[in-house]
């Protein structure tokens, strides 16, 4: 790094590879599709695209067509599947770049059919999403007779690669919901023409429910080294995951303050005795959640220190009373000592949100 930015993210390439191989092994004969939506769960889509070229995977999954195009721009030439939404105006570009798309209702199915009839010899691969009980995107059981009729009359340039669905509760302690959804999904697939792949498993499912692995499994949060839930971790016999992301900043100012000094907006903190604070150049605009005000922890020079006062848009204060911390000292915001899981627990959310909300403007480096 030529100069020190306000904060930066480091990605551990060896941890990425470890996680991919661990989940690939757990998936058995099923192929593995890492999911890199939401800026690769906050890790950086372009950075992950570079690393993914060396992974033994089926391809990558994204949420939107724009993310798929960004992967191509970053130099990723493997298979890419758009899982949630694409615009009909970008369908030609997606097809030209070999990007595969979801079809989840009659609107998208008819758009693809119309494209196939006018696109000449341009091939496009589609994946039919079925709603097996999550009540989000996907065809319902009552739609299948009409879907089958349309699929049996597709233009030859349209290839149906898979039937797939999404589980609602594979991370939860109870197992009957996942088992029921799998039965529903398999029943629905029997009503449609066979495809090369069927997939329904996420990280939690491929670890906890072997029958969900089928021919292709999707792995999201797990490839970043984060457990989806405590029940998943408890069921992961022989599987270890290594967190990939570390987020750092530096101390920009140190202040000695007298007893009774108020800290930050709305005076939510007051020193009970004379002390020292460190001011960090990060805040909620960077993804450091405002709910960490007076609750968060950071790691500096081998010790943990509490956030004091309100987290503001671009600044956060830390109580470093009794220390010799100086300006320029590195600060771990997320890492081995301050985990995304712990941060999520403090603010009452899940690590997915903690990571996905990290600002794309933060520089990311692979180490």
- Whose structure tokens read 């020079």? 301
What are the structural domains of the chain?
13-235 (3.20.20.10), 245-366 (2.40.37.10)
pLDDT grade for 126, boundaries at 50, 70 and 90 = very high
How far is residue 46's CA from residue 25's CA, in Å, rounded to a whole number?
Answer: 26
Across 293-316, b (16+ Cβ under 10 Å) vs e yields bbebbbbbeeeebbbbbbbbeebb
Task: Work out whether the CA dihedral 48, 53, 55, 56 comes out positive or negative.
Answer: positive
The pLDDT of residue 237: 86
The pLDDT of residue 2: 53
Find the range with the poorest average confidence among 53-57, 134-138, 172-176, 223-227: 172-176
Q: How far is CA 195 from CA 32, 123, 154, 182, 189, in A?
A: 17, 16, 14, 17, 9
Task: Work out whether the CA dihedral 358, 360, 365, 367 comes out positive or negative.
Answer: positive
Q: How far is CA 7 from CA 80, 232, 247, 289, 338, in A?
A: 31, 32, 7, 15, 16
pLDDT in tens, 209-222: 999 999 999 999 99
| Torsion angles phi and psi, residue 142, rounded to 5 | -70, -15
pLDDT grade for 132, boundaries at 50, 70 and 90 = very high
**For the chain, percent of residues with pLDDT exceeding 70:** 99
pTM of the model: 0.95
pLDDT in tens, 98-119: 999 999 999 999 999 999 998 7
Dihedral angle computed from the Cα positions of residues 277, 278, 283 and 289, in that order, rounded to the nearest 10 degrees: -60
pLDDT at position 236 over 60? yes
Average pLDDT over residues 166-194: 95
Residues annotated as catalytic are 37, 265
Token digits of residue 185: 């999904």
pLDDT at position 46 over 90? yes
Average pLDDT over residues 277-306: 98
The pLDDT of residue 120: 74
Contacts of 149 (CB under 8 A, 6+ apart): none
Contacts of 237 (CB under 8 A, 6+ apart): none
Average pLDDT over residues 238-258: 97
pLDDT at position 121 over 90? no
Summary mean pLDDT of the chain: 96
Q: How far is CA 291 from CA 247, 248, 311, 341, in A?
A: 18, 19, 8, 15
């Amino acid at each position: 790094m030529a100069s020190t930015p306000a904060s930066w993210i480091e990605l551990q390439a060896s941890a990425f590879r470890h996680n991919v191989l661990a989940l690939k092994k757990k998936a058995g004969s099923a192929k593995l599709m890492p999911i890199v939506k939401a800026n690769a769960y906050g890790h950086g889509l372009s950075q992950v695209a570079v690393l993914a070229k060396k992974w033994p995977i089926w391809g990558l999954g994204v949420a939107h067509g724009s993310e798929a195009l960004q992967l191509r721009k970053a130099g990723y030439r493997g298979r890419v599947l758009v899982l949630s939404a694409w615009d009909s105006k970008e369908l030609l570009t997606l097809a030209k770049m070999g990007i595969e798309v979801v079809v989840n209702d009659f609107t998208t199915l008819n758009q693809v059919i119309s494209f196939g009839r006018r696109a000449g010899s341009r091939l496009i691969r589609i994946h039919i999403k079925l709603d097996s009980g999550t009540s989000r995107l996907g065809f319902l059981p009552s739609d299948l007779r009409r879907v089958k009729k349309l699929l049996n009359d597709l233009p030859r340039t349209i290839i149906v690669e898979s039937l797939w669905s999404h589980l609602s509760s594979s991370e939860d302690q109870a197992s009957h919901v996942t088992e029921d959804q799998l039965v529903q999904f398999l029943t629905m697939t029997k009503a449609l023409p066979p495809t090369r792949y069927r997939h329904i498993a996420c990280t939690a499912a491929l670890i906890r429910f072997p029958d969900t692995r089928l021919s292709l499994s999707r792995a999201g949060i797990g490839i970043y080294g984060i457990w989806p839930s405590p029940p998943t971790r408890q069921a992961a016999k022989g599987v270890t995951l290594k967190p990939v992301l570390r987020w750092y900043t530096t101390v920009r100012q140190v202040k000695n303050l007298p007893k009774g000094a108020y800290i930050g907006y709305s005076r939510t903190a007051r020193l009970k005795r004379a002390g020292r604070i460190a001011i960090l150049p990060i805040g909620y605009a960077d993804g450091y959640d405002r709910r960490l005000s007076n609750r968060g922890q950071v790691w500096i020079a081998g010790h943990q220190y509490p956030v004091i006062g309100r987290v503001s848009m671009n600044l956060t204060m830390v109580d470093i009373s009794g220390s010799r911390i100086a300006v320029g000292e590195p600060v771990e915001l997320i890492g081995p000592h301050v985990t995304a899981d712990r941060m999520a627990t403090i603010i009452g959310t899940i690590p997915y949100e903690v990571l996905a909300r990290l600002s794309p403007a933060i520089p990311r480096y692979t180490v």
